[in-house]
Amino acid sequence: MKRKVYNEVIYDEQTPLLNVPELVDNKTSNTVCFKSKAKDMEPINLPTERVPDWQNKAVELFGEMLDKYKGLRLFMDSCVRCGSCSDKCHYFLGTGDPKNMPVSRQELMRSVYRKYFTMQGKIFKNSKDCVAFDDNILKDWFTYFYQCSECRRCCVFCPQGIDTAEVTMAAREIMARLGVGTKYVTEVVHKVYTTGNNLGIWAPAWIDNCKFLEEELIEETGLKIPLPVDVNGAEVLLVPPSADNFVNTNTMLGYAKMFYAAGVSWTTSTFCNEGGNFGMFLNYHNYKTINNRILKAARDLNVKYILWGECGHAWRAGYMTRTLSGSMDFLTVKYPKHVCQFTNEMIKKGAFKLDKTANDHLKVTYHDPCNVARATTGMLEPPRDIIRATCNNFKEMHPDTTREKTFCCGGGGGMLADELMSMRMAGSKPRCMAVKATGANYLATPCAICKANFGESLKFWDTGAVVGGVHDLLSNALILNH
């Protein structure tokens, strides 16, 4: 058996790290999201049921999008089906369903494109390559475009530069505007408009959680370290994933300690206490509308700048703020900034006293969230720098699975739904195998969705590791002045 060594870890080439599975037709065709409910669709400006004449409407919408989205038209026109992407998708590697090969996933849309928008479709109307938009194809769209986490890994390997994520987004946009959405995604978007965050935490509960965490900090450090809410005139507006307030509280404690040690005033907003933007997984309209809320919160609270918390797709949307929502010129820092950049800057300035031995019980490895690494801003080193500054035992995973080649956790792109649990576990397999191979007992990652999925999948794949944030490590290592 061929073996290779990386970072003192021996990899069998036959381990299930990147092996191409056997093809099983339609293996995941029954793993389908629950359909959206009218109570969630109506408030987010989407049709509550399939619009009349939906087949023709879909073609009309498709045509509109081809004219508006440069990328979509190019991606429809240029695939040569060379197969370079076919074994790069974590869902395909985890399931073996050929429709989870990125090329096949795109083909679900491209076959419709050929039918209505190409010469081929006009001449060979009944060709197998040209598919009419009907119930069957809509079912496949609903199934397989919601089995894509929009992680953009396949695009890294595509010789033509085709981005399946954008194809998926376009398909979801069309479906949403026809009145076809998933319960999980539309419910989350609805919650943002009503409560300000994805988890549906109402303002009093958010404030209460912050008070609870402050008490935790007093107990742990003996210090009154604040977790401020709705403070007008604070220097920083932090837009964390709401899960940090409710589930990944060690990360929230890490932020609080970090700001305290840095002497920077900060606040969260009960109007917009969510960096995550599930509009990105649904349609552009909600994507923009949700993003605008962050700027509104910043204006209302008169902060100097905004920091995005540890959340992958929040950062992908956040980084786009100047494009999605226009100018940020009313702020002192006019560009989006990530909390890891800020913390790293402070560490490099020598603002913190750190005791790395506080994390000696941990063997740490780092998972690049797709949206922080390749898909937005290429932010690879700042989180690693923080880990190096706070831990003695840090080991990278196999290079075929990190940085721009990182694997999705398996739960991104609006796929964290309970009914997709089997897909989530299957999609998480390549990453979990790489974690297992390092022997790490702590998987650090600055992404709430990754944390949520790894919370299950690291156990499912028997890795022996637990997942946590980057600021959790900082929290352990920070020495605070009394």
| Shortest CB 482 distance to another protein, Å | 29
CB of 335 to another protein, least distance (A): 5
Query: Which span sits near another protein by CB under 8 A: 69-77, 233-241, 352-360, 412-420?
Result: 69-77
Nearer to another protein, 227 or 408 (CB): 408
Give the span between the Cα atoms of 363 and 405, in whole angstroms.
Answer: 22
Q: Which of residues 37, 50, 288, 388 is near another protein by CB under 8 A?
A: 288
Q: Per CB under 8 A, which region of 1-9, 77-85, 133-141, 238-246 contacts another protein?
A: 77-85
In whole angstroms, give the CA distance from residue 146 to residue 143. Answer: 6
User: 429 by DSSP, 3-state: which?
Assistant: helix
Exactly one of 12, 42, 208, 215 binds another protein (CB under 8 A); that residue is 42
Q: How far is the CB of 320 from another protein (least distance, A)?
A: 6
Strands 305-308 and 337-338, bridge-based pairing: parallel
Separation CA 315–CA 308 (nearest Å): 6
Question: Could you say which of 377, 388, 466, 480 contacts another protein (CB under 8 A)?
Answer: 377
C-alpha to C-alpha distance for 216 and 210, rounded to whole angstroms: 10
Strand-pair category, 3-6 with 9-12: antiparallel
Select 237 or 347, whichever has its Cβ closest to another protein.
Answer: 347
Closest by CA position to 179, among listed 28, 55, 32, 30: 55
Positions 144 through 173 that interact with another protein (CB under 8 A) = 152, 155-163, 166
Query: How far is residue 290's CA from residue 302's CA, in Å, rounded to a whole number?
Result: 19
Q: Give the residue with the Cβ less far from another protein, 58 or 433.
A: 58
CA torsion, ordered 353, 359, 365, 368, to nearest 10 deg:
-40
Q: Which stretch binds another protein (CB under 8 A): 68-76, 244-252, 255-263, 472-480?
A: 68-76
Q: Provide the minimum distance between the beta carbon of 7 and another protein in the complex, in angstroms, as a whole number.
A: 16
For 328, the token pair is 């940020």
DSSP letter for each residue of 308-342: E-S-HHHHHHHHTHHHHT---TTSSS-S-EEHHHH
* Span 226-255, contacts to another protein by CB under 8 A: none
Contact pick of 230, 403, 439, 456 for another protein (by CB under 8 A): 403
Minimum distance from residue 396 beta carbon to another protein (Å): 12
When asked if residue 272 is in the footprint of another protein (CB under 8 A), the reply is no
Q: Cβ distance 457 to 428 under 8 Å? A: yes
Q: Which residue's CB is nearer to another protein, number 68 or number 139?
A: 68
Q: x/- contact string, 445-464, with another protein (CB under 8 A)?
A: --------------------
Q: Which stretch binds another protein (CB under 8 A): 229-237, 249-257, 270-278, 334-342?
A: 334-342
69 belongs to the binding site for another protein (CB under 8 A): yes
- In angstroms, give the least distance from the CB of 207 to another protein: 21
8 A C-beta contact, residue 337 and residue 282: no
Alpha-carbon distances of 320 from 60, 98, 126, 275, 370, rounded to whole Å: 28, 33, 42, 12, 16
Name which position in 151, 307, 375, 433 contacts another protein (CB under 8 A): 375
Residue 215 found at the interface with another protein (CB under 8 A): no
- In 3D space, the residue among 278, 273, 251, 457 whose CA is nearest the CA of residue 371 turns out to be 278
Looking only at residues 172 through 211 of this chain, which bind another protein when binding is defined by CB under 8 A? 177, 193-194
Q: Which of 334, 355, 392, 479 binds another protein (CB under 8 A)?
A: 334
Place of tokens 């074994």: 87
Which residue from 203, 207, 333, 421 is in contact with another protein, where contact means CB under 8 A? 333
The pairing of strands 478-479 and 353-354 is antiparallel
Give the footprint of another protein on residues 82-121 (CB under 8 A). Answer: 82-88, 98, 101, 103-104, 107, 118-120
Enumerate residues 6+ apart whose C-beta is below 8 A from 13: 1, 2, 3, 4
Which residue is it, tokens 């605008």? Answer: 292
Nearer of residues 301 and 452 to another protein, judged by Cβ: 301
Among 222, 233, 378, 464, binds another protein (CB under 8 A): 378
Position 60 contacts another protein (CB under 8 A) = yes
CB of residue 426 to another protein, shortest distance in Å:
18
- Closest contact distance (angstroms) between CB of 158 and another protein is 7
Stretch that binds another protein, among 75-83, 215-223, 256-264, 412-420 (CB under 8 A): 75-83
CB 302 within 8 A of CB 233: yes
Q: Beta strand pairing status for 364-366 and 266-267?
A: unpaired
- List beta partners, residue 9: 6
Residue in 8, 53, 67, 418 binding another protein, rule: CB under 8 A: 67
6 binds another protein per the rule CB under 8 A: no
Count of beta carbons in the 10 Å neighbourhood of residue 416: 24
C-alpha dist (Å) from residue 430 to 197, 371, 406: 31, 17, 10
Compute the half-sphere exposure of residue 97: CA atoms within 13 Å on the CB side of its CA: 20
